[in-house]
A and B are shown apart, each in its own frame.
Chain A
Amino acid sequence: MAANRVSYTLDSTLETVNNAEETAGRMAAEAGFDEEEIMKISMAVREAAVNAVLHGNAYDPNKKVTLAFERTVHDLVIVIRDQGKGLDVSRIPDPLSPDNLMKTSGRGIFLIRSFMDVVEIHPSQTGTELRMTKHVHGNPADSKEAPQ
């Protein structure tokens, strides 16, 4: 199967967050997604980039964020990797729980899961890899949450 892949190595800055969002929007448009889907994809990438820059690398200038887009016939796959201590998936709060509803943070991963078809989080001691997939033709039957 033919695939087009492009990847970027980015600094741990706020500018990276904005660049990642813009690049995702452009990639999604080129993949043929409609305006609403483009917004969802670019927002998911923005949230993932925020996590990588802030929570993963903690703005450390010596740590980089890698962002990769892979376009296949059926999917747009986006992978963001940081060099932090590794996200503790078990500690990701449910922002819809009454106890958390009025908290001012903790919605990023939830929004990513809401906007993408498949989301996988792979933490390790050398960083976290977040892999998210959007089906090009948006077949709901294909939609599922990947096991973590």
Chain B
Amino acid sequence: MSMKSSTRQVDGVTIVDLSGRITLGEGSVVLRDTVRDLLSKGQKKILLNLGEVNYIDSSGIGELVSAFTTAKNQGGELKLLNLTKKVHDLLQITKLYTVFDVKDDEAGAVKSFG
């Protein structure tokens, strides 16, 4: 299954609900285009909801890093919400878990943005 993405606004934060696979090819491109589009529109508080992302490969991990860095470089913030066990474990293995700001409660995550 390829990746699907939809966005919604909650208290000034753009929540991106992602589902499917973030892998080399379509999934990574969808994520990249979504984040770049939001930043270009000035929506710089981005919460990626990965609760329905059941698979991610090294390209997908790279795309998450790229999204995080791109947002930060443009004065924005990008946080992760609702990691599945597979994605959680991958971020642990790659030592990226502590790099990202990872949340497991949507309301709390929204409030955490400055």
Q: Which A residues contact B (CB, under 8 angstroms)?
A: 14, 17, 39, 43, 46-47, 50, 54, 95-96, 101-105, 107-108, 110-111, 114
Prevailing SS type, chain A contact patch: helix
Prevailing SS type, chain B contact patch: helix
Which residue in A14, A17, A46, A105 is a CB contact (below 8 Å) of B62?
A: A105
Q: Is B111 an interface residue (CB 8 A)?
A: no
**Which residues of B have CB within 8 Å of A107?**
58, 61-62, 94
Q: Which B residues contact A (CB, under 8 angstroms)?
A: 23-25, 57-59, 61-63, 65-66, 69, 86, 90, 93-96, 99
Complex contact A46–B57 (CB within 8 A): yes
**Which residues of A have CB within 8 Å of B57?**
43, 46-47, 50
State in angstroms the CA–CA spacing of A54 and B58 once bound together: 13
| Min distance, Cβ B70 to any Cβ of chain A, angstroms | 10
**Which residues of B have CB within 8 Å of A43?**
57
- Given known A14-B24, A96-B94, contact A50–B58 (CB-CB < 8 A): yes
**Which residues of A have CB within 8 Å of B61?**
107
Complex contact A104–B93 (CB within 8 A): no
State in angstroms the CA–CA spacing of A103 and B99 once bound together: 12
**Which residues of A have CB within 8 Å of B63?**
104
Residue of A nearest to B72 (CB): A102
State in angstroms the CA–CA spacing of A70 and B43 once bound together: 51
Which residue in A39, A50, A104, A111 is a CB contact (below 8 Å) of B66?
A: A104
Q: List 14 A-B contacts (CB under 8 A).
A: A14-B24, A47-B57, A50-B24, A50-B58, A54-B24, A101-B95, A101-B99, A102-B69, A103-B62, A105-B58, A105-B59, A107-B61, A111-B93, A111-B94
**12 further interface pairs, Cβ-Cβ under 8 Å (given A104-B63, A111-B90):** A46-B23, A47-B57, A50-B24, A50-B59, A95-B94, A101-B95, A102-B69, A104-B65, A104-B66, A105-B62, A107-B62, A111-B94
